[in-house]
Structure 1
Amino acid sequence: MKVGVAFGISELANPRNFEKKASEFITALAREFDVVGGFFVSTKADFREAKAGVNFNEVDAIVLYPLTGGTEVALKEFAVYRRPIVIHGDPFNNSLAAGIELREYFRERLVPSTLVKNFNELKAALLGYEDMKETLDRFLRMRVGLIGRVSPWLINEKFELPYTRISLKRFYEYYDAVTDEEGWSAIEEVVSRAADIREPDKKALIKAGRIYVAINRILEDYSLDGFTIGCFDLIGKIGSTPCLALAMFNALGIPAACEGELNSLLGMMIVRRFFDKPAFMGNVADYGENHILLAHCTAPLIGRYVLRSHFESGTGVGVDVQLPKGRASLLKILGRKAVVAGVEVVGQEHSNVRCRTQVKIRIEDAMDFIDGTLGNHHLLVYVDSEELADLLSELGFEVMLY
């Protein structure tokens, strides 16, 4: 197991006073693991200098040892590597105090982080991460993208994980490079399989196809595993929405979220990566004693579907998808917290004053769930709720299971 090591020392402290302790620590660790690094950092500048000389992207885990307090600002920078972290503290020089602060910083960014205070605990923590290597790698190395901006009404949205930002200006460059013929070719088969086409004409369908092709090229050029897009901003510029493109990507196995919401995208990517299932991202449109209604204008094309317009704007191409009945789960992620509920999909509704795909879900104590959940958007996923909750807990989420 390859382990990266770094020591933190306050700018007020004399490094010479800690050289022996650091040397003995490295020697002991090297008897058990393949050690990389072993340098001191006091400032962000020290971290940048070390980063240029040592590649921690190739290690299996990182050990951070704050030798003193006041080292949090420098050591927190190691979150950028997205590798499991073990923080070793000791009872002297405010070492443990710094370690506890650092542990919570990493955990808030969903970087697995453990605090230990002796070598046996350190070894056990590292071997535990080695046992989980495959699972953690699949999670920590996901490449997510945001096209445009987070929609401004998502007032609770916070996201501390690294992601690639693609401006709408860049998106429009890709879109303008797609011909009408390429756009139509991309969606012709999807159009032919539709049970009905209501509002959209061929011009609207071609725009939807051009959006799909443009995004597909962005995914290839930026090596993204999934993406979300600030979709409403497209309406004024090109008179269309990406609803159909998102529906196609989700059906093809590429997680795609709307409104620029990264937390929903993260949930979609986890479900796809670990269960190979798509997710329906929906608004809570209604609820009763034992049911919730989710609605949105995009949904994975995994059932009979009708092509509609986007509900709020009356433009673009939305989808009304007949999602399968049966057991499923509701998932809501916000930061390091997650809510999971076992549910049953029991039917569809087709009101003209809601978003196009409308799914009725049976859930026990629906009003308690609504009272305790973390915000609006929820994911409907066809996986077992307990298995999903267990996985999320392993990945470092604080999970509430209904």
Structure 2
Amino acid sequence: MKVGVAFGVSELANLKEFEKKASRFLTDLAREFEVSGGFLVSTKADFRKVKEEVDFNKVDAIVLYPLTGGTEGVLKEFAVYRRPVVVYGDGLNNSLAAGIELREYLRERLIPATLVKTPVELKAALLGYEDMKDNLDRFLRIRLGLIGRVSPWLINEKFNLPYTHISLKKFYEYYDNVGGEEGWNAVAEVVEKAEAIKEPGRDDLTKAGRVYLAIKHILEDYHLDGFTIGCFDLIGKIRGTPCLALAMFNAQGIPAACEGELNSLLAMAIIRRFFNKPAFMGNIADYGKDYLILAHCTAPIISPYKLRTHFESGIGVGVEVRLPKERASLMKIRGRKAVVADVEVVGHEHSENRCRTQLKLRIEDATDFIEGTMGNHHMLAYVDAEELADLLSELGFEVMLY
């Protein structure tokens, strides 16, 4: 196991006083692991020098040892590598205090972070990361993209993970480069397989195909594993929506979330990466004692579907999908917290006053769930709720299982 190491020393401290301590620590650690780095850093300039000399992207885990207090600011820079971290603290020079602060900073960015204070605990923590290496790598290496902006009504959206931002201006450049015939051909098979086409005409469907191809080219050029798009901003510009494109991508294995919501995108990406299943991102439209209604205008087209307009605007192309009536999980992620519920899809609703795909879910205590969840959008996926909750816990989320 390859371990990167960095020590933090306050600018107010005498660096030479801590060099022997750091050297002994490295010598002991090297008896058990392959060690890389071992730098003493006090400033961001020091960190930049470290970046030039050692690639911490190639280590399996990072050990950060604040030898003194006041080092949180420079050591937090190592979060850029998105590697599992063990924070080592001791009872001298405010080391432990700095370590606790640093650990929480890393956890808020969903980087697995463990605080230890003895060599025995350090070894155990590193070996624990080695056991989880595959899952942690698959999670920490996810490349997500935001096209446009986060929708302004998502007032609880908080996202500290790195992502690639693509402006709507750039999106429109890709869109304008797709011709009408290309757009139509992109959705022709989807149109042919639809049970019905209720409102959209050929022009609407062609626009939907152009949106699909524009996003497809963006994913290729930016090397993204998944994306979310500020979809409502497209309505005024092109008189179209990306609902059908998202439905197609999710069916094809590419996580695609709407309204620019990155937390929902992350949830989709986790479900796809670890269970190879699509997820339906829905609004909680209603609930009763033992049921929830989940609705949205896009859903993975993995079962019979109709092509409709987008509900709120009455334009573009939305989808009404009869997703399978099976046992499933309902999940919500916000920051480092997650809610998971065991549910069953028991029916399909058809109200004209809700988004197009409408599912009725049986849940043991809907009122309790509504009281405890953390915002609107939820992911429905056909995976086991306990397995999903266990995975999220392993990845560093605080999970509430209903």
TM-score range, shorter chain: over 0.9
Note the 1:182-331 alignment, pairs <5 A.
Answer: 182-331=182-331
Letter aligned with residue 182 of structure 1: E
How many angstroms apart in 1 are the aligned matches of 2:35 and 2:145?
33
Give the secondary structure class of the aligned counterpart of 2:344.
strand
How many angstroms apart in 1 are the aligned matches of 2:182 and 2:55?
42
How many angstroms apart in 2 are the aligned matches of 1:83 and 1:226?
20
How many angstroms apart in 2 are the aligned matches of 1:164 and 1:285?
31
Cα shift readout 1:33-77 (whole Å, capped 9, x = no counterpart):
111111111122221221122110000000000000000000011
Deviation (angstroms), 1:273: 0.6
Deviation (angstroms), 1:118: 1.2
Note the 1:14-163 alignment, pairs <5 A.
Answer: 14-163=14-163
Deviation (angstroms), 1:357: 0.3
How many angstroms apart in 1 are the aligned matches of 2:294 and 2:314?
20
How many angstroms apart in 1 are the aligned matches of 2:37 and 2:91?
24
Letter aligned with residue 162 of structure 1: P
Match in the other structure for 1:357: 357
Cα shift readout 1:365-385 (whole Å, capped 9, x = no counterpart):
101100110000001110111
Letter aligned with residue 367 of structure 1: T
5+ residue gaps in structure 1? Answer: none
Cα shift readout 1:322-375 (whole Å, capped 9, x = no counterpart):
000010010000000000000010011111111000000010110110011000
Give the secondary structure class of the aligned counterpart of 1:364.
coil
Match in the other structure for 2:343: 343
How many angstroms apart in 2 are the aligned matches of 1:177 and 1:52?
39
Deviation (angstroms), 1:253: 0.4
Q: How many residues of Structure 1 are paired with residues of Structure 2 in the alignment?
A: 402
How many angstroms apart in 2 are the aligned matches of 1:193 and 1:355?
21
Deviation (angstroms), 1:107: 0.6
Letter aligned with residue 104 of structure 1: E
How many angstroms apart in 1 are the aligned matches of 2:329 and 2:23?
51
How many angstroms apart in 2 are the aligned matches of 1:254 and 1:317?
19
Deviation (angstroms), 1:269: 0.5
Letter aligned with residue 342 of structure 2: G
Letter aligned with residue 100 of structure 2: I
Letter aligned with residue 187 of structure 2: I
Give the secondary structure class of the aligned counterpart of 2:284.
strand
Letter aligned with residue 244 of structure 1: L
Give the secondary structure class of the aligned counterpart of 1:152.
coil
How many angstroms apart in 1 are the aligned matches of 2:56 and 2:124?
21
How many angstroms apart in 1 are the aligned matches of 2:191 and 2:57?
44
How many angstroms apart in 2 are the aligned matches of 1:304 and 1:113?
44
TM-score calculated relative to the size of structure 2: 0.99
5+ residue gaps in structure 2? Answer: none
How many angstroms apart in 1 are the aligned matches of 2:236 and 2:44?
42
How many angstroms apart in 2 are the aligned matches of 1:139 and 1:4?
19
How many angstroms apart in 2 are the aligned matches of 1:307 and 1:325?
20
Note the 1:361-376 alignment, pairs <5 A.
Answer: 361-376=361-376
How many angstroms apart in 1 are the aligned matches of 2:169 and 2:50?
35
RMSD of aligned C-alpha atoms?
0.6
How many angstroms apart in 1 are the aligned matches of 2:194 and 2:324?
16
Deviation (angstroms), 1:84: 0.3
Give the secondary structure class of the aligned counterpart of 2:130.
helix
How many angstroms apart in 1 are the aligned matches of 2:135 and 2:365?
33
Greater shift after overlay, 37-46 or 231-240? Answer: 37-46
Give the secondary structure class of the aligned counterpart of 2:376.
coil
